[in-house]
Amino acid sequence: MAYGLNYQLPPSIDIKPLSKLYLILLYSKAILTSNPIAGLKRRKPDPNKGEHATDQVIRYLSPLQLAFMYELVTSDARIHAIVRLLHRTGARVGELLAVDWEQVDTQARKFPVLGKGNKYRWCFYSEDAAIALNKYIKYYRDFGTPALFTAQNPLTKEVTRLSYRRVHTCWRNLIAASQELKGIRLHDLRHTFATERVGLMAIEELRALMGHEDIQTTLLYQKVTSLRAEEVAQKALTILTQSENYTTVNYQPNHMDQLDTLPE
């Protein structure tokens, strides 16, 4: 069979095993009349392999974004408590929603979660999260289920465990009008938790709090992103500039400096 310019691979040939490089070679030699991989979607980067679309390795909230977020979610006691706990504990959304009320130690401010690999770990929360959680439990938590976070069907009045879908919908509705929080996910609070603690504790300790099976996943938080680098650089410039201005304003010449001003 002659391989002309208009030759097409027979349907019986499975091109999946063929490498992209080989297909490109066929196209470049005019054996194929069209690029067979031109319409393929680009594979998403795998963070577990250290692959990222940009150098913005970890998406986390800045202090300003956190301030906007807390202002918006305060009106919903349940979401406010969830957001506080996600930010302060680093728990995954699904892990937090699986917690039962009886598992929470309100005195020690901690609760266990079942993470990946079916391994339990403790999550510890702060005083501000405790205030939000206690308010939710006292005034808004529904009875009839052991779940910490509950939802009640408005028609049947049935009380069930709060679902991820319901949380996501409430979250999107609360931040919809905020340009500062556009595209921010609840999971980004977990990244924020880790980013805030890098450098404050050993990497193995952070790994234990995050529930990572692979230490390489935890090490991602040590990489300085473009945004973080800019924030640090600008802060350093501000401090240095203020220091230089203070030195200039408060400069007092000593006697050696005054020798240069004596008449010859």
Catalytic residue of the set 60, 125, 136, 221: 221
Task: Tell whether the torsion through CA atoms of 142, 145, 149 and 151 is positive or negative.
Answer: negative
Catalytic residue of the set 78, 92, 141, 207: 92
Catalytic residue of the set 187, 223, 235, 246: 187
| pLDDT, tens digit only, all 264 positions of the chain | 444 444 454 555 554 544 555 555 555 566 656 655 556 666 666 554 445 554 455 789 999 999 999 999 999 999 999 999 999 999 999 999 999 999 999 999 999 999 988 999 999 999 999 999 999 999 999 999 999 999 999 999 999 999 999 999 999 999 999 999 999 999 999 999 999 998 888 889 999 999 999 998 888 887 755 556 677 788 788 888 887 776 655 656 555 444 444 444
Find the DSSP H helices in the chain. Answer: 20-28, 63-73, 77-89, 93-97, 127-139, 164-175, 188-197, 203-210, 215-219, 226-249, 255-259
**Other CB atoms closer than 10 Å to residue 27's CB: what's the count?**
16
Residue given tokens 């005054």 in the structure block:
258
Taking phi first (over 0 means left), then psi (-120 to 50 degrees means alpha), and beta for anything else, what does residue 99 get?
beta
Whether 7 sits among the annotated catalytic residues: the reply is: no
Whether 29 sits among the annotated catalytic residues: the reply is: no
Residue given tokens 């702060």 in the structure block:
126
Residue 135: predicted pLDDT: 97
Q: What is this structure's pTM?
A: 0.67
Residue 241: predicted pLDDT: 84
Residue 136: predicted pLDDT: 98
Whether 87 sits among the annotated catalytic residues: the reply is: no
- Cα separation, 175 vs 105, in Å, equals 30
Note whether 93 and 167 are within 8 A (CB).
yes
- Cα separation, 43 vs 20, in Å, equals 13
- Structure-block tokens of residue 137: 């439990």
Whether 221 sits among the annotated catalytic residues: the reply is: yes
Which letter does DSSP use for residue 86 in this model?
H
Whether 92 sits among the annotated catalytic residues: the reply is: yes
Catalytic residue of the set 87, 88, 190, 207: 190
Residue 59: predicted pLDDT: 87
The number of C-alpha atoms within 13 Å of 264 and in the hemisphere containing its C-beta is 0
As a dihedral over the C-alpha atoms of residue 222, residue 223, residue 229, residue 235, rounded to 10 degrees, the angle is 0
Catalytic residue of the set 20, 116, 172, 223: 116
How big is the CA angle at 262 (ends 256 and 264), to the nearest 5 degrees? 125
Residue 44: predicted pLDDT: 67
Whether 190 sits among the annotated catalytic residues: the reply is: yes
